[in-house]
Amino acid sequence: MSEATKQVPITLITGSSRGLGKSAALALAERGSDVIVTYRSGLKEAEEVVQAIRARGRKAVALRLDVGRTDTFDAFVSQVREALKQTWGRERFESLVNNAGVGGYAPFVETSEAVFDELLAVHFKGPFFLTQKLLPLLADGGRIVNVSTGLARYALPGLSVYSAAKGALEVLTRTLAVELGARRIAVNVVAPGGIVTDFGGGVMKDPALQKSVIEQTPMGRLGQPEDVAGVIAMLLGPEAGWVTGQRIEVTGGYRL
Protein backbone atom coordinates (compact mmCIF):
# COMPACT_ATOMS: atom_id res chain seq x y z
CA MET A 1 0.00 0.00 0.00
CA SER A 2 2.74 2.49 0.83
CA GLU A 3 6.45 3.04 0.82
CA ALA A 4 6.44 1.26 4.20
CA THR A 5 4.37 -1.79 3.28
CA LYS A 6 6.12 -4.03 5.80
CA GLN A 7 5.23 -1.74 8.69
CA VAL A 8 1.93 -1.62 10.55
CA PRO A 9 -0.10 1.14 8.86
CA ILE A 10 -1.02 4.24 10.84
CA THR A 11 -4.30 6.04 10.16
CA LEU A 12 -5.18 9.54 11.35
CA ILE A 13 -8.94 10.00 11.73
CA THR A 14 -10.36 13.41 12.57
CA GLY A 15 -13.34 13.48 14.89
CA SER A 16 -12.82 9.91 16.06
CA SER A 17 -13.85 10.15 19.71
CA ARG A 18 -17.44 9.23 18.81
CA GLY A 19 -19.85 8.34 16.01
CA LEU A 20 -18.60 7.36 12.58
CA GLY A 21 -15.01 8.27 13.39
CA LYS A 22 -14.96 6.04 16.45
CA SER A 23 -16.45 3.13 14.51
CA ALA A 24 -13.89 3.62 11.73
CA ALA A 25 -11.04 3.68 14.25
CA LEU A 26 -12.16 0.41 15.82
CA ALA A 27 -12.77 -1.24 12.44
CA LEU A 28 -9.27 -0.30 11.30
CA ALA A 29 -7.75 -1.56 14.54
CA GLU A 30 -9.52 -4.87 13.98
CA ARG A 31 -7.86 -5.01 10.56
CA GLY A 32 -4.40 -4.35 11.97
CA SER A 33 -3.97 -0.59 11.73
CA ASP A 34 -2.66 1.73 14.42
CA VAL A 35 -4.65 4.94 14.86
CA ILE A 36 -4.16 8.60 15.67
CA VAL A 37 -7.46 9.67 17.23
CA THR A 38 -8.51 13.32 17.26
CA TYR A 39 -11.14 15.06 19.34
CA ARG A 40 -12.33 18.63 19.83
CA SER A 41 -13.74 18.54 23.37
CA GLY A 42 -14.37 14.91 24.32
CA LEU A 43 -11.04 13.99 25.90
CA LYS A 44 -12.57 11.26 28.06
CA GLU A 45 -14.31 9.70 25.07
CA ALA A 46 -11.12 9.91 23.00
CA GLU A 47 -9.12 8.18 25.72
CA GLU A 48 -11.74 5.41 25.84
CA VAL A 49 -11.34 4.91 22.08
CA VAL A 50 -7.56 4.74 22.53
CA GLN A 51 -7.97 2.08 25.20
CA ALA A 52 -10.35 0.09 22.99
CA ILE A 53 -7.80 0.19 20.16
CA ARG A 54 -5.01 -0.93 22.49
CA ALA A 55 -7.25 -3.76 23.73
CA ARG A 56 -7.28 -4.97 20.13
CA GLY A 57 -3.50 -5.18 20.15
CA ARG A 58 -2.83 -1.97 18.27
CA LYS A 59 -1.15 1.33 19.17
CA ALA A 60 -3.07 4.60 19.43
CA VAL A 61 -2.76 8.18 20.67
CA ALA A 62 -5.35 10.94 21.08
CA LEU A 63 -4.65 14.53 19.99
CA ARG A 64 -6.89 17.57 20.29
CA LEU A 65 -7.94 19.17 17.01
CA ASP A 66 -10.53 21.78 16.10
CA VAL A 67 -10.96 21.38 12.35
CA GLY A 68 -12.69 24.74 12.17
CA ARG A 69 -9.58 26.56 13.44
CA THR A 70 -6.98 26.64 10.69
CA ASP A 71 -4.77 28.84 12.88
CA THR A 72 -4.15 25.81 15.13
CA PHE A 73 -3.05 23.46 12.36
CA ASP A 74 0.69 24.16 12.53
CA ALA A 75 0.73 23.25 16.22
CA PHE A 76 -1.37 20.14 15.53
CA VAL A 77 0.97 18.97 12.78
CA SER A 78 3.89 19.38 15.18
CA GLN A 79 2.05 17.19 17.68
CA VAL A 80 1.46 14.56 15.00
CA ARG A 81 5.13 14.63 14.07
CA GLU A 82 6.12 14.20 17.73
CA ALA A 83 3.59 11.38 18.27
CA LEU A 84 4.92 9.53 15.24
CA LYS A 85 8.44 9.83 16.60
CA GLN A 86 7.67 8.94 20.23
CA THR A 87 5.07 6.19 19.70
CA TRP A 88 6.15 4.64 16.43
CA GLY A 89 9.71 5.79 15.78
CA ARG A 90 8.61 6.92 12.34
CA GLU A 91 8.23 10.12 10.35
CA ARG A 92 5.12 9.33 8.30
CA PHE A 93 1.68 7.80 8.53
CA GLU A 94 -0.22 5.91 5.81
CA SER A 95 -3.81 7.17 5.75
CA LEU A 96 -5.88 10.27 6.53
CA VAL A 97 -9.64 10.20 7.10
CA ASN A 98 -11.25 13.65 7.11
CA ASN A 99 -14.32 12.82 9.15
CA ALA A 100 -14.82 15.56 11.78
CA GLY A 101 -18.01 17.54 11.38
CA VAL A 102 -20.84 19.49 12.95
CA GLY A 103 -24.53 19.57 12.11
CA GLY A 104 -26.34 22.71 11.09
CA TYR A 105 -30.01 23.14 10.22
CA ALA A 106 -31.60 26.37 9.04
CA PRO A 107 -33.89 27.32 6.14
CA PHE A 108 -32.00 29.15 3.41
CA VAL A 109 -33.68 32.50 4.12
CA GLU A 110 -32.80 32.24 7.83
CA THR A 111 -29.17 31.13 7.46
CA SER A 112 -26.84 33.62 9.10
CA GLU A 113 -23.35 34.46 7.91
CA ALA A 114 -21.98 33.07 11.18
CA VAL A 115 -23.59 29.67 10.57
CA PHE A 116 -22.41 29.75 6.95
CA ASP A 117 -18.83 30.49 8.01
CA GLU A 118 -18.79 27.78 10.69
CA LEU A 119 -20.08 25.03 8.40
CA LEU A 120 -17.74 25.97 5.56
CA ALA A 121 -14.81 26.14 7.97
CA VAL A 122 -15.44 22.69 9.42
CA HIS A 123 -16.55 20.82 6.31
CA PHE A 124 -14.47 22.38 3.55
CA LYS A 125 -11.86 24.96 4.54
CA GLY A 126 -10.66 22.83 7.44
CA PRO A 127 -10.19 19.57 5.50
CA PHE A 128 -8.61 21.55 2.63
CA PHE A 129 -5.86 23.15 4.69
CA LEU A 130 -5.43 20.31 7.18
CA THR A 131 -4.75 17.92 4.32
CA GLN A 132 -2.34 20.44 2.81
CA LYS A 133 -0.46 20.75 6.12
CA LEU A 134 -0.33 16.97 6.68
CA LEU A 135 0.82 16.01 3.18
CA PRO A 136 4.55 16.09 4.08
CA LEU A 137 3.82 13.46 6.77
CA LEU A 138 1.63 11.26 4.56
CA ALA A 139 3.53 8.34 3.04
CA ASP A 140 3.82 7.95 -0.73
CA GLY A 141 1.33 5.31 -1.81
CA GLY A 142 -0.96 6.33 1.05
CA ARG A 143 -4.69 7.03 1.16
CA ILE A 144 -7.06 9.88 1.89
CA VAL A 145 -10.77 9.34 2.54
CA ASN A 146 -13.05 12.36 2.82
CA VAL A 147 -16.39 11.83 4.53
CA SER A 148 -19.22 13.58 2.70
CA THR A 149 -22.97 12.96 2.80
CA GLY A 150 -25.76 11.52 0.70
CA LEU A 151 -27.15 15.07 0.75
CA ALA A 152 -24.65 15.97 -1.96
CA ARG A 153 -26.85 13.86 -4.29
CA TYR A 154 -30.40 14.35 -2.97
CA ALA A 155 -31.75 17.50 -1.35
CA LEU A 156 -33.54 18.05 1.96
CA PRO A 157 -34.77 21.46 3.17
CA GLY A 158 -32.82 23.35 5.79
CA LEU A 159 -29.44 21.89 4.93
CA SER A 160 -28.25 24.15 2.11
CA VAL A 161 -24.89 25.17 3.60
CA TYR A 162 -24.00 21.74 4.99
CA SER A 163 -24.85 20.05 1.68
CA ALA A 164 -23.03 22.65 -0.40
CA ALA A 165 -19.90 22.39 1.75
CA LYS A 166 -19.87 18.61 1.32
CA GLY A 167 -20.39 19.06 -2.42
CA ALA A 168 -17.29 21.25 -2.50
CA LEU A 169 -15.38 18.57 -0.58
CA GLU A 170 -16.37 16.00 -3.20
CA VAL A 171 -15.07 18.18 -6.04
CA LEU A 172 -11.85 18.75 -4.09
CA THR A 173 -11.48 14.99 -3.71
CA ARG A 174 -11.39 14.47 -7.47
CA THR A 175 -8.85 17.25 -7.91
CA LEU A 176 -6.62 15.82 -5.19
CA ALA A 177 -6.82 12.39 -6.80
CA VAL A 178 -5.31 13.93 -9.94
CA GLU A 179 -2.73 16.12 -8.22
CA LEU A 180 -1.53 13.46 -5.77
CA GLY A 181 -1.46 10.64 -8.29
CA ALA A 182 2.23 11.19 -8.90
CA ARG A 183 2.83 10.17 -5.29
CA ARG A 184 0.49 7.19 -5.72
CA ILE A 185 -1.85 8.59 -3.07
CA ALA A 186 -5.44 7.47 -3.63
CA VAL A 187 -8.16 9.95 -2.65
CA ASN A 188 -11.82 8.97 -2.36
CA VAL A 189 -15.13 10.04 -0.84
CA VAL A 190 -17.50 8.07 1.38
CA ALA A 191 -20.99 9.58 1.48
CA PRO A 192 -23.17 8.25 4.32
CA GLY A 193 -26.93 8.63 4.46
CA GLY A 194 -29.18 8.47 7.51
CA ILE A 195 -26.90 6.85 10.08
CA VAL A 196 -28.04 6.47 13.69
CA THR A 197 -25.51 8.44 15.75
CA ASP A 198 -25.59 11.53 17.97
CA PHE A 199 -24.51 13.73 15.02
CA GLY A 200 -26.55 16.89 14.65
CA GLY A 201 -28.02 16.47 18.09
CA GLY A 202 -29.05 12.89 17.40
CA VAL A 203 -31.61 13.88 14.77
CA MET A 204 -31.63 10.37 13.29
CA LYS A 205 -32.92 8.99 16.57
CA ASP A 206 -36.30 10.64 15.98
CA PRO A 207 -38.89 7.86 15.37
CA ALA A 208 -40.85 9.81 12.75
CA LEU A 209 -37.72 10.59 10.75
CA GLN A 210 -36.54 7.00 11.05
CA LYS A 211 -39.86 5.74 9.66
CA SER A 212 -39.64 8.14 6.71
CA VAL A 213 -36.06 7.15 5.90
CA ILE A 214 -36.79 3.43 6.10
CA GLU A 215 -39.77 3.80 3.76
CA GLN A 216 -37.51 5.38 1.12
CA THR A 217 -34.59 2.97 1.57
CA PRO A 218 -34.60 -0.16 -0.64
CA MET A 219 -32.57 -2.07 1.94
CA GLY A 220 -35.38 -1.50 4.40
CA ARG A 221 -33.46 -0.33 7.45
CA LEU A 222 -31.49 2.53 8.95
CA GLY A 223 -27.75 2.76 8.57
CA GLN A 224 -25.40 2.02 11.47
CA PRO A 225 -21.91 3.49 12.06
CA GLU A 226 -20.41 0.07 11.32
CA ASP A 227 -21.86 0.18 7.79
CA VAL A 228 -19.79 3.26 7.01
CA ALA A 229 -16.73 2.13 8.96
CA GLY A 230 -16.46 -1.03 6.87
CA VAL A 231 -16.38 0.97 3.63
CA ILE A 232 -13.74 3.34 4.98
CA ALA A 233 -11.62 0.40 6.09
CA MET A 234 -12.01 -1.22 2.67
CA LEU A 235 -10.83 1.94 0.89
CA LEU A 236 -7.75 2.01 3.12
CA GLY A 237 -6.98 -1.66 2.54
CA PRO A 238 -4.76 -3.27 -0.08
CA GLU A 239 -7.71 -4.38 -2.20
CA ALA A 240 -8.61 -0.75 -3.04
CA GLY A 241 -5.22 0.46 -4.21
CA TRP A 242 -6.43 1.05 -7.78
CA VAL A 243 -9.49 3.09 -6.71
CA THR A 244 -9.12 6.86 -6.66
CA GLY A 245 -11.27 9.92 -7.29
CA GLN A 246 -14.42 7.96 -6.57
CA ARG A 247 -17.55 8.65 -4.52
CA ILE A 248 -19.02 5.69 -2.66
CA GLU A 249 -22.45 6.35 -1.21
CA VAL A 250 -23.45 4.35 1.87
CA THR A 251 -27.20 4.98 2.13
CA GLY A 252 -28.82 1.61 1.54
CA GLY A 253 -30.07 3.03 -1.76
CA TYR A 254 -32.02 5.91 -0.19
CA ARG A 255 -33.99 7.84 -2.83
CA LEU A 256 -32.56 6.01 -5.83
Per-residue pLDDT tens for 201-228? Answer: 667 778 888 899 999 999 999 999 999 9
In a domain, 168, yes or no: yes
Boundaries of domain holding 93: 10-195+224-250
Share of the chain residues as helix, strand and coil, in percent rounded to the nearest 5:
50, 15, 30
What pLDDT is stored for residue 4 in this prediction? 41
In a domain, 191, yes or no: yes
In a domain, 201, yes or no: no
In a domain, 157, yes or no: yes
Tell me, what CATH number does 183's domain have?
3.40.50.720
> If we measure between CA atoms, which residue out of 246, 151, 162, 233 comes closest to residue 194?
151
Alpha helices in 135-206 (DSSP H): 160-179, 199-202
Query: Per residue in 133-153, pLDDT tens?
Result: 999 999 999 999 999 999 999
Note whether 45 and 16 are within 8 A (CB).
Answer: no
Active-site annotation, residues: 162
What pLDDT is stored for residue 198 in this prediction? 72
Query: Per residue in 97-127, pLDDT tens?
Result: 999 999 888 999 999 999 999 999 999 999 9
In a domain, 205, yes or no: no
The count of domains in the chain is 1
Q: In what order do the strands lie in the sheet with 93-98?
A: 60-64, 34-39, 10-13, 93-98, 138-147, 186-192, 247-250
Could you say which DSSP state residue 231 is in? H
